[in-house]
Amino acid sequence: MNNRIKTSDPAVIALCSVAESEGIATVFDRYQAQQPQCGFGSLGLCCRICWKGPCRVDPFGDGPQAGICGADKHTIVARNVTRMMAAGAAAHSEHGRHIALALQKIGKGLLPAYRIRDEAKLYRIATLLNIDTQNKEMLEVAYDVATKTLEDYQNQDHHKGCHWISATLPKKRVELLSHLGVLPHNIDATVSQIMARTHIGCDAEPKNVFLGGIRGALADFNGMSLATELSDVMFGTPSPVVTEANIGVIDKNAVNIAVNGHNPMLSEVICDMAREMNDIAKGVGAPKGINIVGICCTGNEVMMRHGVPLATNYLSQEMAILTGALDAMVVDVQCIMPSLPQIGNCFHTEVITTMDENKMQGARHISFHEENAVETAREIIQCAINAYTRRDPKRVNIPNIKQTAVVGFSSEAVMAALSKIDADDPLKPLVDNIVNGNIQGVALFAGCNSTQTVQDESYQVIAKTLAANNVLMLATGCGAGAFAKHGLMNQQATEQYAGDSLKAVLTAIGQAAGLGGPLPLVLHMGSCVDNSRAVSLATALANRLGVDLCDLPLVASAPEAMSEKAIAIASWGVAIGLPTHLGTMPQVTGSDVITDLMQEGAKDLFDGYFIVETDPKIAGNKLVDVIKQKRQKLGI
Ligand code: SF4
Ligand code: MSK
């Protein structure tokens, strides 16, 4: 591997050579250009909260030990990380608000492009939220579910927690969080309060600031839970589907359109319209018509619901354009590199922004609103078809690298598979196999890609360690993308890497569920907003056993955590009682008060804690040890 190109993905390595020969800078070049990165920032010791700053605290104790206002290193670090959690909560919760508002409009019959695709789930959610469904039409129930959901953005009563947290976490956990004063009552107010309390001259008690951040992280959980569940109602609850992943899914004989970002509102309609417009693409000379591929979490959304192949994950999104065969990249929100239009301009690729609050210099903007979703999707697809006619075949270079992936394991899909073994008590086979040790524990992989590590490598190393130790694995977001691209989300991987007892269980369930073989080694649970799916499953397990989440042999791992959303996810993971591994260094190590709080302090408060370990081999072993300790404590 070229040391400059920090990836384990052979397709990325191949396309970086194209970039190099064409003189195009990629994320890896910009990473190099940033070296050495600021030590103060890396430790979280730089404050830019007011214009007297920036202020920096000397980590070696020789220089200044406080900012101009007097804030010390602990306050500065606490404020910085807490604001990150608020930004993560805002991102997921804006996504959720968009979905909830759309469902409310569907309930009023105002969005003809959309419909309720999972009616049974709508009614289950109504029951969960204590909504009376007697004598109501389905659309009325949809309206009521959306309206009650939106109360989580509006409630002003501090004594009433958000509906979705109360409905989705075990009762014991909700009581603990309430007792600790970290249960959000309103997503927007929680984010706003964090911004207010971290303004200059406000909350300067580091632990108090950090616990305010934890409340923000729990607001993040609330926002993502409602986004996930209501998306299922509108677009269908995922069930297992076989597809492919990595850059080889781009097809030189088709008009290739990549959907990138997070929000499925537009990409769902693009998938529908692509089928309708296929012949137009053939008419301009693309023999295979239109080929939709996914990137990042919009990619995960359409992959798990429609089997749309995944081109790549976050860090390598530029590579899709470097194939010379991508005709359009359509982006919505979050984790979209601002470099894309520049690279698109080196080829014929149309980079199209679609959300009015998320534009990029140099991109074409086609404004998306649900009311005109069909027209917008058609305009975008036509734009891609036009671009195809400008494609230069001599510059097409698609590495033939892809892997089979079986994706779409929503918690409902997992329960459905288990019910094939025990229809009366679907959780029993899982419980029995955890108790008898065939499954030692469960690990949720979440999070991103980061240039701090070698792209996708830690995911693979940790997963192979856990698999050999009979740990059942779930994955979301760009972690799921990594596993799919590297062939760890298929049945062969189970045969190759699972420990004997895990393999036997995955085979029994897979056979019973009609997959003709074992379940994949790592179960794909969706996009990063879908981390709540794993919590639903864990809550069902905890409720079944009458214990709290922290009592179960569950761990979480974010080997390449990078975004503010990932910080928020990891923090609520800790707050709900999960030992949570970070494989990248969080920007908090400048304060021992905060690092202690994230480890020992959090353990005392939540029975969950952060494990920071950048070496994936050691991290895998540490997670296995944590699972063993949990089992011992449970007496199993
Ligand atoms: Fe400096 Fe205080 Fe202003 Fe931060 S808030 S920049 S530490 S003066
Ligand atoms: S896209 S937040 S890099 S998972 Fe969900 Fe991937 Fe992380 Fe963005």
Model confidence pLDDT, tens digit, residues 195-215: 999 999 999 999 999 999 999
The two tokens of residue 251 are: 């097809």
Predicted local distance difference test score (pLDDT) of residue 1: 43
CATH 3.40.50.2030 positions along the chain are: 247-389, 406-634
Q: Which residue has the tokens 């974010």?
A: 558
Closest CA to 407 of 259, 613, 241: 241
Report the separation in Å between the CA atom of 566 and the middle of ligand 2, taken as the mean of its atom positions: 8
Ligand nearest to the CA of 314: 2
The verdict on the CB of residue 242 being under 6 Å from ligand 1 is no
The verdict on the CB of residue 477 being under 6 Å from ligand 2 is yes
CATH 1.20.1270.30 positions along the chain are: 73-235
H/E element, 376: helix 373-388
Do the bridges between strand 310-312 and strand 290-295 make them parallel or antiparallel, or are there none, so unpaired?
parallel
Q: Which of 92, 453, 563, 564 for a ligand 2 pocket mutation test, highest count of atoms within 8 Å of Cβ?
A: 563
Report the separation in Å between the CA atom of 90 and the middle of ligand 1, taken as the mean of its atom positions: 24
The alpha-helical segments, DSSP class H, found in 108-136 are 119-128
Euclidean distance between CA atoms 149 and 143, whole angstroms? 10
Q: Is the per-residue pLDDT at 100 higher than 80? A: yes
Domain 406-634 has CATH 1.10.260.40: no
Q: Which residue has the tokens 């760890």?
A: 488
Binding site membership: which residues? 38, 46-47, 50, 55, 69, 262, 297, 335, 448, 478, 528
Share of the chain above pLDDT 70, in %: 100
CATH fold group of domain 73-235:
Substrate Binding Domain Of Dnak; Chain:A; Domain 2 (1.20.1270)
Predicted local distance difference test score (pLDDT) of residue 2: 56
CA 610 to chain centre: 18
The verdict on the CB of residue 297 being under 6 Å from ligand 2 is yes
Euclidean distance between CA atoms 473 and 556, whole angstroms? 10
The verdict on the CB of residue 335 being under 6 Å from ligand 2 is yes
Please name the residues in contact with 65: beta carbons below 8 A apart, sequence gap of 6 or more: 57, 58, 72, 73
Q: Is the per-residue pLDDT at 260 higher than 50? A: yes
Q: Where residue 5 falls among pLDDT bands split at 50, 70, 90?
A: confident
The verdict on the CB of residue 261 being under 6 Å from ligand 2 is no
Coil vs helix vs strand at 7: strand
The verdict on the CB of residue 583 being under 6 Å from ligand 2 is no
Predicted local distance difference test score (pLDDT) of residue 109: 96
Q: Is the per-residue pLDDT at 3 higher than 70? A: no
Report the separation in Å between the CA atom of 480 and the middle of ligand 2, taken as the mean of its atom positions: 10
Euclidean distance between CA atoms 53 and 30, whole angstroms? 27
Report the separation in Å between the CA atom of 75 and the middle of ligand 1, taken as the mean of its atom positions: 10
Closest CA to 216 of 173, 177, 261, 263: 177
Contact 93, 194 (CB under 8 A): no
Report the separation in Å between the CA atom of 147 and the middle of ligand 2, taken as the mean of its atom positions: 28
Contact 475, 483 (CB under 8 A): yes
Options 3.90.105.10, 1.10.260.40, 3.40.50.2030, 3.40.1190.20; CATH of 247-389: 3.40.50.2030
Report the separation in Å between the CA atom of 28 and the middle of ligand 1, taken as the mean of its atom positions: 33
Looking at the predicted complex, does its ipTM rise above 0.85? Answer: yes
Mean pLDDT of the chain: 97
Euclidean distance between CA atoms 582 and 604, whole angstroms? 19
Index of the ligand 2 atom closest to the CA of residue 476: 4
Q: Which of 195, 200, 203, 209 for a ligand 1 pocket mutation test, highest count of atoms within 8 Å of Cβ?
A: 200
Report the separation in Å between the CA atom of 569 and the middle of ligand 2, taken as the mean of its atom positions: 11
CA distances from 494 to 442, 490, 498, 501, 517 (A): 15, 7, 5, 11, 10
H/E element, 261: strand 255-261
Closest CA to 323 of 300, 347, 341, 345: 347
- Whole-prediction pTM value? 0.97
Q: Whose CA is closest to atom 3 on ligand 1? A: 50
Q: How many alpha carbons lie under 13 Å from residue 196 in its C-beta half-sphere?
A: 6
The verdict on the CB of residue 68 being under 6 Å from ligand 1 is yes
Q: What is the mean pLDDT of residues 594-623?
A: 98
Coil vs helix vs strand at 291: strand
